[in-house]
């Protein structure tokens, strides 16, 4: 029954694996998965395509004025993954590129962008039964979420994971530039004025630096089952 469903908020640092574990949990329990970070990446890509991002500087006024025309949706795939749709176009692969990663933090600090996407995210969670990951899901988007997890791992571990992902996709990047991007994004995420990255007081911490994917997925599913048992 729908009233048995909960909202699951998974926050954490970039490349901490939170999206993979959120997706796996959603698939295991039959919930909808929402990648909030993909939404910020999509807005960033839109801004880049329209010449509103140059050398790390964002044309804030024009981007904010254009927000109502930026439409973002998700297309679920048979394997449980999803594709990000920007104004009707599948941009899932493009938003994962390093040039978008290098600009997304500058776009995501803009208060109007955050307000617009938070409203979209809250609308997606109205019926509950979702797993959403990001930076401020448990603190700002769904402060009343029944299950909150904060994921962390060392910057070096996260950079190595991200580097391996990009290399597997055939992209020409160096580990050093990926690490620099991770450290830079951490700083911006932690110090921005609007919804900075922080662990919610009632979130459960997970450092997955030394965990396998199977171990972290089991940890997450066990936590979900314990929370559901407490609700019963």
Single pTM value for the model: 0.86
Question: Which residue, 70, 59, 68, is CA-closest to 106?
Answer: 59
Instruction: Give all domains of the chain, ordered by start, each with its CATH number.
Output: 8-221 (3.40.50.300)
User: pLDDT tens for residues 49-74?
Assistant: 999 998 879 999 999 999 999 999 99
pLDDT recorded at residue 2 = 41
pLDDT band at 193, cuts 50/70/90?
confident
| Residue 34 DSSP symbol | E
What pLDDT score does 171 carry?
A: 87
Q: Supply the pLDDT for residue 3.
A: 61
Residues making up the annotated binding site are 12-20
Nearest to 59 by CA among 68, 70, 67, 51: 51
The pLDDT value recorded for residue 82 is: 84
| HSE-CB of 98 using CA atoms within 13 angstroms | 22
- Distance CA(12)–CA(133), nearest Å, equals 8
User: What's the mean pLDDT when you consider all of the chain?
Assistant: 92
Tokens of 165: 């992902």
Question: Taking 60 as the threshold, does the pLDDT of residue 133 lie above it?
Answer: yes
Tell whether the model's pLDDT for residue 1 goes beyond 50: no
Residues of each annotated binding site for ATP: 12-20
Give DSSP secondary structure letters for 73-101: EEEE-TTS-EEEEETTEE-TTGGGSHHHH
Mean pLDDT of 154-174: 92
Residue 124 — φ and ψ, nearest 5°?
-65, -25
**Phi, then psi, of 40 in degrees rounded to 5:** -70, -35
What percentage of the chain has pLDDT greater than the value 90? 79
């Amino acid at each position: 029954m729908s009233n048995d469903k909960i909202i699951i908020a998974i926050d954490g640092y970039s490349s901490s694996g939170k999206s993979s574990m959120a997706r796996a949990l959603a698939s295991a329990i039959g919930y909808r998965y929402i990648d909030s970070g993909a939404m910020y990446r999509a807005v960033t890509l839109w801004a880049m395509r329209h010449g509103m991002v140059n050398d790390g500087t964002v044309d804030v006024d024009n981007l904010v004025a254009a927000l109502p025309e930026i439409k973002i949706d998700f297309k679920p795939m048979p394997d449980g993954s999803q594709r990000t749709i920007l104004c009707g176009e599948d941009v899932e692969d493009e938003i994962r590129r390093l040039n978008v990663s290098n600009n997304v933090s500058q776009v995501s600090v803009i208060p109007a962008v955050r307000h617009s996407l938070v409203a979209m995210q809250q609308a997606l969670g109205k019926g509950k039964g979702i797993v959403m990951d990001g930076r401020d899901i448990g603190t700002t988007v769904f402060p009343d979420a029944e299950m909150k997890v904060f994921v962390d791992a060392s910057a070096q571990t996260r950079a190595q994971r991200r580097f391996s992902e990009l290399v597997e996709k055939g992209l020409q990047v160096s580990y050093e530039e990926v690490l620099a991007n991770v450290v830079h994004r951490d700083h911006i995420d932690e110090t921005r004025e609007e919804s900075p990255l922080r662990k919610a007081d009632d979130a459960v911490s997970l450092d997955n630096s030394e965990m396998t994917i199977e171990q972290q997925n089991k940890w997450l599913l066990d936590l979900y089952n314990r929370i559901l048992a407490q609700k019963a």
